[in-house]
Amino acid sequence: MPELPEVETTRRGLAPHLEGRRIAEVTLYRDSLRWPIPPELPTLLHRQPITGIRRRAKYLLLDTGGGSALWHLGMSGSLRVLPNDTPLRAHDHVDVQLDNHRVLRFNDPRRFGCLLWQPSGETHELLRGLGPEPLSDSFDGDYLFAMSRGRNASIKTFLMDQAVVVGVGNIYAAEALFEAGIAPLRPAGKVSRERYERLAIAVKRILAHAIERGGTTLRDFISPDGLPGYFEQELSVYGRGGEPCKQCGARLKEASIGQRTSVWCPRCQR
């Protein structure tokens, strides 16, 4: 599944082509993805000016005067801005025609993505209760330390909890914990404030770097310009179970934590 850097890369790639444009027409080629697409959405978006495109967690919000189209890429979805005469491909599900003879097209082979509606001035239920953005000033070591008190769950599970902080998925949680020197199975409530400060710094650095490099290439994801991301080749632990640690040479351990494959160095992470 595309993680926060992939979604942010998509947002940045789309913004120059969408902001300031007006929606001419919306065509739905199916009525449901992960959830039903609101049937009134084409009418709600018709002739609306696009005021911006935002990211919240792994969701993209296409803002208009009357509200926001709420997108999620799911496991395999992609958004492209194309000439409006570009032939449809398999799994093209939604076209948003723009006023400059181009189209924002949503393709999703597995149909785990979504397209929903958030009226102006409201917060969609999917966005309620989410934690802070990891790159915001409100996310730091003090915050993590306070949120972790009394928690017996593993620190990796804690870090991936969207109510604690949004958008830190499996890849980046593993990499941040390695950089901070914290074993992923350590109970969240047993980690010191000082170590949480190192972890918050690691999360911010790794996510910012991944965004700068275009996200992590996954099997089903390429960035909006058609080029793969470049962060994958720099991964220290994710996907490297059984291989030598790049830092100390020890054999990397691998186990399932919270039903997600986790890899860590038993020597560098305590």
The average pLDDT across 211-228 equals 64
Question: Which pLDDT score is estimated for 2?
Answer: 77
* Domains of the chain by residue range: 4-119, 141-264
227 pairs with which residues across the strands? none
The residue assigned the tokens 């398999």 is 90
Q: State how far the Cα of 14 lies from the Cα of 79, in Å rounded to an integer.
A: 8
- Write down the pLDDT at residue 225: 60
Question: What residue ranges in the chain does DSSP mark as E strands?
Answer: 23-28, 50-56, 59-64, 67-72, 78-83, 92-98, 102-107, 114-119, 253-257, 260-264
Say if residue 195 carries a ligand binding annotation: no
4-119 CATH fold: N-terminal domain of MutM-like DNA repair proteins (3.20.190)
Average pLDDT along the chain: 93
- With 60 as the cut, is the pLDDT of residue 219 above it? no
**Residues classed as catalytic:** 2-3, 58, 260
Q: Are 22 and 97 in contact (CB under 8 A)?
A: no
Mean pLDDT of the region 148-170: 97
Are the C-beta atoms of residues 102 and 83 closer than 8 Å to each other?
A: yes
Annotated binding-site residue? 151: yes
Would you say residue 46 has pLDDT above 70? Answer: yes
C-beta separation of 58 from 3 below 8 A: yes
pLDDT at 232: 65
- Which tokens go with 206? 């790794």
* Residue 124 among known ligand-binding residues: no
Distance CA 68, CA 59 (A): 11
In this structure, which topology does domain 141-264 adopt according to CATH?
A: Helicase, Ruva Protein; domain 3 (1.10.8)
Is 0.85 surpassed by the pTM of this model?
yes
Neighbour count for residue 220 (Cβ, 10 Å): 16
pLDDT of residue 61: 98
